[in-house]
């Protein structure tokens, strides 16, 4: 029996548009993000999704409500699917982070950035594994959708692929409402689709 997990990044916010680190800052979808969520909902409306989960941050939950209306499902909000807390990076653009924290920013070329006052990559990676295992423990043979965030989805993919922290930047989850799909059969998980935004074309 195959369990299918649809991993979805939230729609666009003004901070996405402006290139600002969001983390736990609770920024709503902008008009473009609402339209992206509607396009995703039209795409998935006929899919046999049985359960819908979402981060409790509003950019994800707003996306999930629009999707849930198309699927006739009520999203279950769970903070385990939240974005990484980016601490002192919150609200800054990457050039501003580089100027303010040059030593930390330099590490992006060889490893993982751990923002001051934020959640470490190790902690986020552990949380992502818990979220994935929790999902698989409750659903066997179902198609389940989760609306979350780029950083957390990176970490889920790292669990599936068995990649090390220094390979974090080799995948992209930057596409708003990007769809990634994991199939799990006999305990073996396979990433079969990554950051598909064809519904926006």
Question: Alpha helices, DSSP H only, in the chain?
Answer: 14-18, 31-44, 58-71, 94-100, 102-106, 121-138, 150-161
d(CA 115, CA 38): 33
d(CA 193, CA 148): 16
Q: Which of 10, 125, 154, 159 is catalytic?
A: 10
Catalytic residue list contains 83: yes
Dihedral sign (CA 43, 41, 192, 180): positive
Q: Which of 24, 51, 83, 159 is catalytic?
A: 83
d(CA 195, CA 201): 13
Catalytic residue list contains 159: no
Which residues form the catalytic set?
10, 83
């Amino acid at each position: 029996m195959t369990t299918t997990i649809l991993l979805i990044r939230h729609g666009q916010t003004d901070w996405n548009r402006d290139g600002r680190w969001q983390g736990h800052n609770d920024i709503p979808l902008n008009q473009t993000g609402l339209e992206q969520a509607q396009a995703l909902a039209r795409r998935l409306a006929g899919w046999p999704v049985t359960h819908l989960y979402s981060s409790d941050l509003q950019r994800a939950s707003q996306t999930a409500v629009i999707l849930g209306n198309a699927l006739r499902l009520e999203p279950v909000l769970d903070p385990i699917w939240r974005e990484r807390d980016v601490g002192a990076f919150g609200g800054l653009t990457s050039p501003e982070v580089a100027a303010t924290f040059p030593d930390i920013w330099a590490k992006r070329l060889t490893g993982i950035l751990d923002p001051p006052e934020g959640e470490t990559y190790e902690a986020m990676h552990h949380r992502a594994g818990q979220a994935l295992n929790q999902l698989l423990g409750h659903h066997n043979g179902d198609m389940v959708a989760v609306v979350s965030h780029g950083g957390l989805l990176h970490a889920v993919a790292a669990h599936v692929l068995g990649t090390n922290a220094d390979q974090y930047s080799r995948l992209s989850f930057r596409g708003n409402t990007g769809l990634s799909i994991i199939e799990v059969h006999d305990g073996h998980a396979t990433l079969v689709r990554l950051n598909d935004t064809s519904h926006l074309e």
